[in-house]
Structure 1
Amino acid sequence: MNVDLFDFDLPPENIALRPAAPRDAARMLVLDGATTRDAGVADLPQMLRRGDLLVFNDTRVIPAQLEGRRGDAKIGATLHKREGPRRWRAFIRNARRLRDGDVIDFGADVSATAVDRESDGSYALEFAGDEPLELLLDRVGHMPLPPYIAGKRATDARDADDYQTMFAAEPGAVAAPTAALHFTPALIQALADAGVEHATLTLHVGAGTFLPMKANDTDDHRMHAEWGRIDPQTADRLNAVRASGGRVIAVGTTSLRLIESATGDDGVIRPFEGDTAIFITPGYRFRGIDGLVTNFHLPRSTLFMLVSALMGRERMQAAYAHAISARYRFYSYGDASLLLP
């Protein structure tokens, strides 16, 4: 499909630079079957049914943005995907000043050797020393805010909390599963009181989520792989919910993509552990989920294609036009949508 079909104009003032406070005070656009209405995230207990189950991603964002030097050259690195105990694949800024085997000094006694350059310009960084890599990143890394936020303001202490969900437990993401940023313990309790349960899985979101599509046709786009896990108990629980007539509703496109990666043509969700590079576009037949809570996505992005696959491209174009005119806040720190096909 032509990528231009998924384009739209977004005024800069619709891009959120800070999250709503409190988190569950964010607005929520609800698309339920053929109806569209304005609501708030706090209304979710009334929007869902007893017996439904929300699935959250429990990945934790690490300080994956690094600034260093190779000689006199400034080198920036955004970690993308872990490849070993001391090795991360990274997107590099000023990569023209870097060659295989060069050592990047990140300061504070943290350095890494750049090896195995790939065609997308990424390198594998092999970190020196014996200290746990998590300690090194805590020393020199910064929270990797998306470019559309970082380009307008500096990362600060608030982001260390704002850019983690209440479910963050498994370190390894370089971007937050942002739909879950809206949830609070009070909202989870209200959902439980309404008979709506929740479960967690893990998908370590990579920096590829920030990259614009360079291809003009979806057939020519290559997704970056991300590591995820659904344990056997969670898979059984999701299958039991659907078998009893409840709905499995993914919170965030990361949860959705992992569930769909783990679901067979028979509609059974199976345990999963490994990489997924699933790319969902219109025409895809959803097998494992019955709905989605998600934020508002970038034009021409793989995620806008995903929601268009779920609800229909023309429907989502109209919904986004309404959201823009009604001044919904877009992207990672923005408002939410509830999509129930």
Structure 2
Amino acid sequence: MFLCYSDLILQSAIHIFVNNREVLTKDFLIEPAEHKTFICKVDGHDITGDLTFIHYISNKQKIRSIYRTENNGIKSQIYTESLSLDLPNDDGWNILVDADVLDATTGLFRNLDTELDEGAKNFKQKTNEEIRRYFMEKFPDYYNFQKLQKDAYYPYRSQEAPSQAHVITFNQIAYYLENEYKLLRKNIDTRKIIYPLINLAIANGDLRTILSYFTNLNPAIIKKFKELLDTVDLENVIEFSTDIAKKTSFLDFLNTIIYSDISKKVKERSELHKIIENNLWLWRAVCQYTEIILRQNLQNNLQELRAAYFSYEPTISDENLIECADAKIKDITDLFFFNENIINDTQREIMIVELKAPCCAIGQKS
């Protein structure tokens, strides 16, 4: 509401009440409105333009130039343009543009959006130049912040910025820090940490979340983390912790499908077996990448394993042939894999797993 009638509210030409409370300029304005005039040639004539700069509170940066015409003493908006400017704040700016040339009777206002008329095009260009000049005069320290670009730790000296918006955001933050802490003026070494962090935080929203966790850590934990990094690479810490977190999460999931009410619905072969097959680390970490032998009967599995890994034929004389008359040797194995686990010089380990659905009762026969 304030933005729609800001000029009239500023002039006290109207009074707006919301819930019996008057909308006052102090509730929205950051500073008093400022005015600026300029001269522009349109069709060979010098035209005077009037600019009114309204700096208002906003949740994000919005800069708009609002062209107006006057009919019978009433100002009406005829054209609005959003401007992309490098400013040291994220507030809102409305720039009201008034000029006799915008009078509805001249017809110039009809061509502001298309720029088909050379006069309208020149007037808009001149207006935008004057708006930029106003901000450069208003924030000279920010626009003359050349020392930042020359600093050894400025991130865009050695690498290309992702976008101009990225550079603008970085410069704004660095400008705020300089005003507050004088990092450049005092040549504070923490710039080599702060500037890269700012750059990464702008480019990667995840980093902002990570940094927010660090701000809540107590000094003792920070010290432990620092001591850990003195002995282990951060990448290794992250990979190890991620692996542990995934496995812990899986164990919680496995506990749920086995011991909760949902266990009655879990199918043994088509569901439970598939889940376990993808998590062989349950038996040992080295089993995680073991290739599973396709399901077939135990006798065939053992014969294939012997042919692949043992170069001798078992014989009675060598006392390494065991005759098995048990018909169960023909049973299909639920999970069968061979892992090269060296127990001693002569022994290797074979693992055969019999899986049962959570709803099955396990007895001596099983």
State the TM bucket, normalised to the shorter chain: under 0.3
TM-score for the superposition, normalised by structure 2: 0.19
> Which has the larger Rg?
2
Higher strand share: 1
